[in-house]
Structure 1
Amino acid sequence: MDALQSLIDDPNEALGAEYKAEIDLETPIGRANFARHIAALANHGGGYLIIGFDDDLTPREPRPSLPTRDDVARVVKRYLDPPLQCDVRILDDAEGRTYGVIVVPSHGAVPVCACADGPQDAAGRVKGITRGVHYIRKPGPESAPLLTSQEWAPLIRRCALAERSSLLGAIEVALRGGDQAPGLDAVLASWAEAASVAYSRGVEANCPDSKVGTARFHFAYAIETQGEPLKMSVLADVLRRVGHELDQQVHTGWGMFHVFDGPIGPRSKTDQRLDDGDLEFLEMNLLEQDSTVGMTDLWRVTASGLASIQRGYIEDTHWWKDIPPGQVFSPNQMAMSVTELVRHASLFAREFGEATQVHFRCEWRGLKGRQLHDFHHPWMFSGHPAEDDERRSRTSATIGALETSWAQVAAELAGPVARAFGIGHVVTPAWFTGQSAAWFRR
């Protein structure tokens, strides 16, 4: 299911998701309460406010009215500093009921603070939101004032990471160069190979007739860092936070490394091919757990900054209307997936205090005979069948380059597969920037 659609189809209130029967933006207290939730979600690292569910998470009847993006922006501008741009998505459930999902981005280099008081009650007490207070998400879940040093710690850390990436990015590009840590390429190769073997075995065991056995892409990266790894106990929450931020930049509908709740959520795993089974990682395996929409992802992430994802081509699914599987290759889908990989690596690297570079490996299989085709975006060339069945790419980029020159990194990774279709001269950094206008937001 779509990452946003899952909030509707499988409601589960959490720190990053606030469910409401309706949103009152007509009264001062309603606007103040709404602003408090937005501030808390932003200071949580991003999240969602879902409109249309009662307290027991059943659909609200009668159905509520839903705010527009302008409605949300007016409240944010009135009550919060620095202001942030929220998105509003309208989604339907299987019975045709409509819901609103307000997508709240993470704070940046400074936390979001209330800059105005809510209304006063008869006793003169401020209600809803208080000027000068920072709000965060707390167990319950609830949106409440930040009170203790322990509560400040993760917020300060995210602010520092955002500031570090912004200030040091250009300097790193100039001074760091492309030197690679000794042995890291071999580690990444072993990591990717083990994931590939696991995917092939998963196809054989669960869907031996599936096209993904021979037609899929496989992306992997390794974060080079001199600092300590993350703790496995917090890895899922970190990936959730990264996923929220990523969706604000590259919205594909089914985000890479998205952490679902419930049966298809990631599990702690080991693999005998990796450190004799001693390396622990999170794995989401949709070859073993039915996604209900035909997706066949297998992704793995370690607390030390290794990541890999394998996915069948969306061009081979029912979403690619009236085209049999194995016939076409979409340049725009390729651009989105590569950009999403680069941005995910950049955002995840921020969680490592001493990260310096990220090393990438990309592989596309099952290309031979496919022709260029986009049904959402007209493609300048038709035909161009690929003669090679597989293409691979490798590159390394400093943390600064990922922040300031993402299109250059993406073009380097996409070059080999573009050349397989005879369009290598077209797929440039400028082309990536142009293609991204519809789905990349900074």
Structure 2
Amino acid sequence: MAVDPDQIRALVEQPVEALQVELKTWLDPRTEDGIAKLVKAMFAIRNRNGGFLLIGFDNATRAPDPYAFDQSVETLFHIDTLQGLVSRYVNPSFEIGIAFTDRDGQVYPVISIPEGVQVPAVVRRDLIGQGGKKLLAEGDLYFRTFNSNGTASSARILPPDYADLLDVCFENREADIGRFLRRHLGGVGSAATLSSALGIESEERKLRKRAFAILESGSAAAGTAIAERATPDQRKRIDNALTMHVGLAFDPPRPDALPTQEFLNKVSSSNPNYTGWPVWLDSRGFAEKLDRPYVASGMWEALIVDLDGGWSEHVEFLRLDPRGEFYLHRVMQDDLTEKVAPGTALDIILMIYRVAEVLAVGTILGRSLGWEEQGEAGFAFSWTGLKDRALRPWVNAFRSVGPNGGTSRTSAVEAYVTVPLETPSAALAPYVSAAVAPLFSTFAGYEPSTELVETSVRKLIERKMDS
């Protein structure tokens, strides 16, 4: 199972507990107790539709836990050992991945559990510990949930979680059907015809107006925050950089909602962390205090400025408003990497990944925060810093993305898409296509193929993105 090394590094550098990310202190997979804890965690994450298990961190403090075993981390947590536990105790079986990364001289294992569950992972045999205690029981089903103790945790499934589990399994089956329909209906006519045939086009003027209002006010706030904090040299890098701005509105708004810690915890725990630097991330554990979120104007805000030449540079401003309005301002990697000269390139697939992540995380947050699944989310996009930039696959120069789209003569472009909250993440490809179409068309009319968007969305959701 392929694992994105940048995502693994980010998870270890900034560990966070979420529904699809679990932190465990060091445990010994040679003992019955260690085996039981690993099995419960891996199966629970699998049934929540995949994610990551980080070993060696305290889930309350997010701090590293001292390593005290006699074998190396790589030996103790070898893939053959872990996959053997899955095969021995699960029905039906599934493949896992393992990656190791260093932090402050200590190696940590990150277990990657794939998404796509259509039949729940169930314990297939008993595991008896010391004194005859049954640590695992045949037929047990574990799930990542808020319902066990009010925080994200792995536990034996309870009746309130049945609906969520069924939704996960159904959505993966529905996504397979959706991919089949799109493959066979894609040649019928235009993208609009396809969207209409699939019943996915439902824009509402009021929601669109709210989303663009969020975009406008958020962009102004981001500009003010960056001007106050960034140095003159940093502002020179930021001002003309390729930047994605997103305004997200949930319907209906909640005018009386307050920016509580509980709200922020729910946002953080619900984020599926598809990438190493997820959209609307929780920066409360960041070492730089200025990067941490604060409350302003009745909402959570955070400005992250990291341009010190470390392993990964970032400039990001975000707003999390419990009234149903989210904003994101992100300087794109295309201008924060040594692989390509700033101001010269836009990587097609990388941008598709980022837009797909915005739509996927946005709809997941809407559902997790209690908006009705029959409701809708309005996404307004704006991209700036486009002029004289060319489409170029700099992340992986050997990837085929179709004909070169040329160079943009436009400085900025906007787009909008309405997404029903009930849409499975794996079925977002038509919405992603609609969102990126105005952006890519400015590059001499470039239009990515349906297959390219579909494949890119699937890789993002399955956490198998190209490096």
- Aligned-pair distance for 1:197? 0.4
Considering only aligned residues, what root-mean-square deviation do their CA atoms show, in Å?
4.3
* Aligned-partner Cα distance in 2 for 1:262–1:203: 21
Partner of 1:342: 359
CA distance in 2, matches of 1:370, 1:191: 27
Aligned to 1:394: 416
1:415 aligns with 2:437: yes
**Is 2:39 the counterpart of 1:35?**
yes
Where does residue 24 of structure 1 map in the other structure?
29
What residue identity is the alignment partner of 1:129?
L
Amino acid at match of 1:103: S
Contact 1:135 1:143 in 2 (8 A): no
Query: The residue matched to 1:256 in structure 2 has which SS?
Result: coil
Residue in 1 aligned with 2:314?
Answer: 295
User: Aligned pair in 2 of structure 1 residues 345, 140: CA closer, same or farther (>3 Å)?
Assistant: closer
How far does residue 435 in structure 1 lie from its aligned partner after superposition?
4.2
> How far has the Cα of 1:305 moved from its partner?
3.7
Shift of 1:87: 3.6
Which residue is 2:189 aligned to?
A: none
Q: Paired residue for 1:270, among 274, 280, 296?
A: 296
1:357-436 paired onto structure 2 within 5 Å:
357-378=376-397, 384-399=406-421, 403=425, 405-425=427-447, 427-436=448-457
Over residues 187-215 of structure 1, what are the superposed CA-to-partner deviations in whole Å (9 max), with x where a residue is unaligned?
A: 21221111100111122112242422232
Distance (whole Å) between structure 1 residues aligned to residue 296 and residue 237 of structure 2: 27
Letter in 2 for 1:98: V
Cα distance change on mapping 1:160 and 1:106 into 2, 3 Å? same
Identity of aligned residues (%): 18
Look up the SS of the partner of 1:21 in the other structure.
coil
Letter in 2 for 1:283: E
Aligned with 1:297: secondary structure?
A: strand
- Which of the numbers 88, 92, 95 marks the counterpart of 2:98? 88
- Output the CA distance in 1 between the equivalents of 2:338 and 2:159: 47
Query: Alpha carbons of 1:58 and 1:125: their partners in 2 closer, same or farther (altered >3 Å)?
Result: closer
* Separation in 2, partners of 1:134, 1:345: 28
CA-CA distance at 1:381 after TM superposition: 5.0
Checking the alignment, whether the CA contact within 8 Å between 1:81 and 1:113 is kept in structure 2 is yes
SS in structure 2 of the partner of residue 183 of structure 1: helix
CA contact (8 A) 2:426 2:458 kept: no
- The reply to whether residue 197 of structure 1 matches residue 203 of structure 2 is no
Cα distance in 2 for partners of 1:387, 1:29 equals 62
Q: Unaligned regions of 5+ residues in structure 1, if any?
A: 272-279
Residue identity matched to 2:319: R
Task: Give the TM-score normalised by structure 2.
Answer: 0.73
Give the Å deviation of 1:326.
1.2
| 2:49 is the alignment partner of 1:57 | no
Residues 355 and 230 from structure 1, CA distance in 2 versus in 1: closer, same or farther, beyond 3 angstroms?
A: farther
Question: 1:344 aligns to what SS in structure 2?
Answer: helix
Say how many residue pairs are matched.
418
Cα distance change on mapping 1:259 and 1:86 into 2, 3 Å: farther
Matching residue of 1:159: 165
- Separation (CA, whole Å) in 2 of partners of 1:173 and 1:240: 34
Q: Deviations over 1:384-412 (max 9, x none)?
A: 22111111111223345565642221111
Structure 2 vs 1, CA of residues 175 and 392 (structure 1 numbering), >3 Å: closer, same or farther?
Answer: closer
Structure 2 counterpart of 1:131, one-letter code: E
TM-score (norm 1): 0.77
Whether the 8 Å contact between 2:126 and 2:136 is mirrored in structure 1 is yes
Q: Closer, same or farther in 2 for the Cα pair 1:13/1:257, shift >3 Å?
A: closer
Displacement, 1:286?
0.6
Aligned-pair CA distance for 1:14: 8.5
* Structure 2 residue identity aligned to 1:269: V
Question: How far, CA to CA, are the matches of 2:47 and 2:262 in structure 1?
Answer: 17
Tell me which residue corresponds to 1:441.
462
Comparing 66-75 with 193-202, greater Cα deviation is found at: 66-75
Give 1:189's aligned amino acid. Answer: F
Does the 8 A contact of 2:115 with 2:461 survive in 1?
Answer: no
The range that moved more, 351-360 or 108-117, is 108-117
1:129 to 2:131 alignment: no
Counterpart Cα distance in 2 of 1:399 and 1:140:
23
Helix, strand or coil at the partner of 1:193: helix
Q: Which moved more, 1:304-313 or 1:229-238?
A: 229-238
CA positional deviation for 1:58: 3.1
Shift of 1:76: 2.6
Change (3 A) 1:44 1:382: closer
User: How big is each residue's C-alpha offset from its partner over 1:235-290, in whole Å with a ceiling of 9 and x where there is no partner?
Assistant: 3333333323x52xxx3x2111122342467535233xxxxxxxx33323114998
Q: Distance in 1 between matches of 2:349 and 2:331?
A: 15
